[in-house]
């Protein structure tokens, strides 16, 4: 029971860090969009790159948490992996995006972090999509026709 509580606390810390990071980046992206109103292509590409890199950073945060949990006896990953950094990153991508290939599976309290990562990824991807939609709606409004 104590290990599950630790897994919940670790999950809460990682989710909080991801939410803060995501909010900060989207807030900064909003400022970029406002400052570059004379163009459409450049701000949208910059914002999309920022969002993509933010998702990668969040995936890395979860991969590090997974590695820490497995190294401290809070569960393990079983299946087709060698416990390398690339394997933790690969597993985290599949979990964050809810792809869930299934060649690597969590065992023990680390399952809590895995489930919470999937929920967090779903939430943050949806947040990014809605932000992108609103940015495109603003930049591609008919009054801005003729801009590139």
Structure tokens at 39: 């163009």
CA-wise closest residue to 96 among 119, 70, 73, 79: 119
Spatial separation of the C-alpha atoms in residues 92 and 33, rounded to whole Å: 30
Per-residue model confidence (pLDDT) at position 31: 86
The DSSP line for 2-51 is: HHHHHHHHHHHHHHHHHHHHHHHHHHHHHHHHHHTTT-SHHHHHHHHHHH
What separation, in Å, do the N-terminal and C-terminal C-alpha atoms of the chain show?
A: 58
pLDDT over 80 at 39, yes or no: no
Residue 103: CB atoms within 10 A of its CB come to: 12
Q: What is the average pLDDT score of the chain?
A: 90
Contact yes or no for 145/38 (Cβ under 8 A): no
Q: 18-28: per-residue pLDDT in tens?
A: 999 999 999 99
- pLDDT band with cut points at 50, 70 and 90 for residue 143: low
CA-based diameter of the chain, in Å? 62
Range from 2-11, 34-43, 66-75, 94-103 carrying the lowest mean pLDDT: 34-43
Per-residue model confidence (pLDDT) at position 37: 63
| Radius of gyration for the chain, computed over Cα atoms and rounded to the nearest angstrom | 18
Buried/exposed 11-27: b ≥16 CB within 10 Å, e otherwise: beebbeebeebbeebbe
Per-residue model confidence (pLDDT) at position 148: 46
Pairing of strands 104-107, 76-79: antiparallel
| Percentage of residues of the chain with pLDDT beyond 90 | 71
């Amino acid at each position: 029971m104590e290990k599950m509580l630790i897994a919940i606390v670790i999950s809460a810390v990682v989710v909080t860090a991801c939410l803060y990071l995501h909010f900060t980046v989207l807030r900064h992206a909003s400022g970029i969009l406002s400052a570059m109103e004379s163009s459409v292509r450049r701000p949208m590409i910059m914002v999309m790159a920022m969002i993509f890199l933010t998702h990668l950073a969040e995936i890395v945060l979860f991969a590090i948490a997974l590695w820490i949990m497995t190294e401290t006896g809070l569960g393990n990953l079983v299946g087709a992996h060698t416990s390398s950094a690339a394997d933790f990153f690969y597993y985290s991508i599949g979990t964050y995006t809810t792809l869930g290939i299934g060649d690597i599976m969590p065992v023990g309290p680390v399952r809590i972090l895995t489930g919470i990562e999937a929920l967090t990824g779903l939430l943050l991807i949806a947040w990014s999509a809605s932000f992108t939609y609103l940015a495109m709606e603003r930049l591609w409004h008919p009054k801005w026709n003729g801009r590139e």
